[in-house]
Chain A
Amino acid sequence: MSSQLLSFTDRGIYCADGDFYIDPWRPVARALVTHGHSDHARWGHAQYLCTHQALPVIRHRLGDIRAEGIAYGETRQIGGVEVSFHPAGHVPGSAQIRIARRGEVWVVSGDYKVEADGLSEAFDPVRCHTFISECTFGLPLFRWQPQRLIAEQLAAWWQGNAAEGRTSILAAYGLGKAQRLMRLLPDAGPILTHGAVEETTRILRDQGYALPPTIRVSAGVDAKSHPGALVIAPPSALGTPWARRFGPAAEAFASGWMALRGIRRRRGLGTGFVISDHADWPGLNAAIRATGATRVFVTHGYTTPFRRWLEEQGYDAGIVQTEFGAEESDAAVEADPA
């Protein structure tokens, strides 16, 4: 009973009193899942619990699983602990998970961002004693502009390309970022989607998320049939024969990593939109402060400097090794929903 409420194992973050794991990366009996990105919702667990809003995408991705939904804010007793899910603002359906045992409260952030994007359920700080936080962008290099400014940049880029007779190809992660972007776009022409993006978009639209009409790219859908179009595709589709069907095109990537010039140049991209579904430096600091926690564990991202920073701010801070996200390299950026 005196043991830590949550412990850190090689399968994932574990709660002994409730006998469940949070976002485990190896198969377990019971998994509580914060959101549908593939580094958090993995295949092979006997039982899943996630928000009602996250469930359709997770089912779509993982196929035939035993899964149950839970409402935001609903409390549930699992073994000796009380569990609830709270909006993380990362992508539609994403949650922080609160675990309480006799007045002691821990919160696992999953991935989160502080700015309300108008699509995902807005981040809601949860008071706790111990906060387990991501820190993908845990360096002061990363400060996002308000998304309305990004919306202006996107509109100008799209319209500029269209005026030059070029298709706009915008690379973005297929769950969350892609849908967030389509909502930011002006009604200035057709929005085409790569199959990987269209699948999630359809599911979210069916759930009732307000998304603009999109056209899946298939045979006969190209620059001729849809002049002045904007195409949303996963980053891996850039520069492939798939992308070449649009003829003269301007390519851009929408990611928090685009804040770094070196990364943008390495990808050979002139244009990068700095927009992320993770908290920036001020966001991480504000979120941690808002929890009132005195102890903070940081998981994936710039963990070493961020932990040191937190210690200097007076927190009892530690690092948890997880298999979430990329390490501090961006080599895995392609796969990372940043």
Chain B
Amino acid sequence: MKRFAALFNALDATTRTGEKTAALAEYFRSAPEADRVWTIALLSGRRPKRIVNATELRLWAAEAAAVPLWLFEECYAIAGDLAETIARLLPPPERETDLSLDATLRALIAQGGRPEPERRSFVTGVWAGLGPDERFLFNKLMTGGFRMGVSSGLMTRALAQATGVEAAVMAHRLMGDWDPARTRFADLTEDGGAAEGARPYPFALASPLEAAPDSLGAPEAFLAEWKWDGIRGQIIARPGTFAIWSRGEDLITDRFPEFAPLQDHLPPGTVLDGEIVAWGGNAPLPFADLQKRIARKTVPKKLLAEAPGHFLAYDLLEAKGVDLRGAPLSERRAHLESLLAALPAGLPLTPSTVVQGDWETLAKIRATARAQMAEGLMLKRLSSPYHAGRKRGDWWKWKLDPFSVDAVMLYAQSGHGRRANLFTDFTFAVRDGNDLVPFTKAYSGLTDAEFAEITRWVGKHTVERFGPVRRVVPELVFEIGFEGIQASPRHKSGIALRFPRMLRWRHDKGVDEIDTLESLRALLRQVSMPGPTTAD
């Protein structure tokens, strides 16, 4: 663990990506091979299964640290990180051991399913043998959510440096479903493993278009299509393999059994990029319908009928087993359409609709996106290859402006991690007659300086405390932006918002100028109505 802790500290001690890459590359050259595999797994979000829950950890740690549980909770609220809280509260180690990362994780995983006393004595035993840095990391391994300030792109570049394999190739090899406990470093870094078959390609990502679209040049150079509001996915149909991946690299084949028939019809060696949506026959259903499907591992028949999945294909990445990503989009798209046209009718797979026109026409079309159940338009350069990850310049997402309302802050809570000790999590209310009705929470959209200013303000304007939550004087007004609105019987306000965030702090507005619950209800009615809606 010491070698791993040294890596972590080196990554943590700098904000320069060059230094981070160098530290990681050095680790990938020199650390024990088994540890390297675990590190790659951890940095790419492949966490070991949790063997303890947070409640158990708190109890065990409070007892080991000899502090009352309430005081432990106070400390946690301030530190904002359970792993750090435990590491700081425990007494100094009795002895120091240095197991490798591989041995530590294998021992940890072996605890899975054992009775509480056994797991407890294992965990407290490990704590007693680790210094504070290693203890913090061990806790992170147990609690999951492990971040080291390293993006998967940065890790891929470091691996490329260490092994001499090109970064894009490396990114592809790291995709998919592999188990660090049964994978060798060479399996990941050298070509031709058994995992090849179901492996997806790194998704090409778009940048938000902030300027006017004519800044991109002639519209003829671009393919414009709807930016569907669903789950971005890849369908892999290779000999003997059929897999569906979400952009988060989750294997979701079993969650969408309606796609299974595709494996009989797609030519072997086909990989498609597209959007999974819930389908209403001719057009997508609202995202809320798809959401019901996402959480389910097995799908009841009723839900399958109510919200059937459909794949709107954007791109063809592989045909007849040949990687097409280097070919221009115009060719890939033509190939995609002829491939899909040859399929029998009735399959849940169609090409995503292309729209055409000059920028002005496209802007008008984009304005109707909500009625199409889309978030806006995608603009993709026809000559572009299929990039691995986000590469600015070829792919742009031209989203609709969000909905917005002015609301007043009612409650404030401090954040976690980087935002610990700073009030960043707010609950907002709109007016309903003489009452203020809370209707959403939001955490993002302000600068650090604004959060600091609000934190000072909250200190002086707290009316009541409920544990970590402060009720504040309803005085600060914010413009809240959101992408969607739906009815929700679970919320007091009767509505739920999609992607709420703070667009700006309205210093110029007072609490008597905020929006009303009725205005939100009117928006809800408007959005639920079939037919075109006006944007904002």
Contact = CB atoms under 8 A, between A and B. Distances in A.
A259 B422 CA distance: 15
B373 interface: no
A140 B422 contact: no
Contact of B89 (A141, A263, A271, A302): A141
B68, B416, B422, B465: which has the most chain A beta carbons within 10 Å?
B422
A141 B88 contact: yes
A159 to B, nearest CB: 16
B156 interface: no
Interface stretch (A32-40, A66-74, A325-333): A325-333
Interface stretch (B71-79, B105-113, B190-198, B335-343): B71-79
Contacts of A140: 65, 67, 71, 75, 88-89
B452 A331 contact: yes
A309 to B, nearest CB: 6
Nearest to B420: A262
Contact of A141 (B78, B414, B418, B458): B78
B13 interface: yes
A263 B67 CA distance: 24
Given A261-B81, A266-B448, A331 B88 contact: no
A241 interface: no
B481 interface: no
Main secondary structure of the interface of B (DSSP, over half): helix
A265 B78 contact: no
B74 A302 contact: yes
A187 interface: no
B70 interface: yes
Interface string B433-472: 0000000000000001001110110111000010000000
Interface residues of B, number: 38
A239 to B, nearest CB: 12
A238 interface: no
Interface in A238-272: 259-263, 265-266, 268, 270-271
A150 B65 CA distance: 24
B152 interface: no
Contacts of A332: 456
A139, A326, A330: which has the most chain B beta carbons within 10 Å?
A139
A304 B67 CA distance: 16
A16 B419 CA distance: 44
A305 interface: yes
A270 B13 contact: yes
Interface in B74-93: 74-75, 78-81, 84-85, 88-89
B12 interface: yes
Given A140-B89, A141-B89, A270-B12, A263 B71 contact: no
Contacts of A216: none
B294 to A, nearest CB: 31
A326 B455 CA distance: 11
B330 interface: no
B13 to A, nearest CB: 4
Given A261-B84, A265-B418, A141 B79 contact: yes
Contacts of A305: 70-71, 74
Given A140-B89, A261-B84, A305-B71, A266 B418 contact: yes
A335 to B, nearest CB: 10
A143 interface: yes
Contact of A271 (B13, B71, B79, B455): B13
Given A259-B88, A266-B418, A266-B419, A302 B78 contact: yes
A266 B78 contact: no
A270 B80 contact: no
Interface string B210-243: 0000000000000000000000000000000000
Contact of B456 (A260, A268, A309, A329): A329
B419 A143 contact: no
Contacts of B423: 329
A93 to B, nearest CB: 29
B326 interface: no
Nearest to B457: A331
Contacts of A64: none
Interface string A317-338: 0000000001111111000000
7 contacts: A141-B78, A262-B79, A262-B420, A329-B422, A329-B456, A329-B459, A331-B422
Interface of B: 12-15, 65, 67-68, 70-71, 74-75, 78-81, 84-85, 88-89, 414, 416-423, 448, 451-453, 455-456, 458-460, 465
Interface of A: 139-141, 143, 259-263, 265-266, 268, 270-271, 302, 304-305, 308-309, 312, 326-332
Given A260-B79, A331-B422, 19 more contacts: A139-B71, A139-B78, A141-B75, A260-B78, A261-B84, A261-B417, A262-B80, A262-B84, A262-B416, A262-B419, A270-B12, A271-B13, A304-B465, A309-B71, A327-B459, A328-B421, A329-B423, A329-B455, A331-B455
| The 4 nearest A-B residue pairs measured at CB | A262-B420, A327-B459, A270-B13, A331-B455
